Amino acid sequence: MEKNEKLLRYSMQLAYLHTLLSAKLITESEYSRIKKKLQKDYKVPSDILADFESRDVR
């Protein structure tokens, strides 16, 4: 899988994860734990989408 494709998949999964958190289907703790796992799996060393997460996405 190409680096850009990995980043796209990571971004999509993170967006969906944020949707679950916003809908209160997961807790903050679950969100953090899953996000750290995604970062590890996709080898994302930092929170490159921090600005995205700070917005209320609807």
Residue 17, domain extent: 3-48
The Cα–Cα gap between 53 and 48 comes to 10
Say if 53 falls within a structural domain.
no
Give the pLDDT score at 50.
56
Give the pLDDT score at 52.
54
Per-residue CA distances from 20 to 2, 4, 5 (Å): 27, 24, 23
pLDDT digits (tens, 9 = 90+) for 10-21: 999 999 999 999
Which residue has tokens 């990995």? 6
Determine contact, residues 15/38, Cβ cutoff 8 Å. no
Tell me how many degrees the CA angle 9-15-11 measures, rounded to the nearest 5.
30
- The model's pTM is 0.74
Say if 54 falls within a structural domain.
no
Say if 56 falls within a structural domain.
no
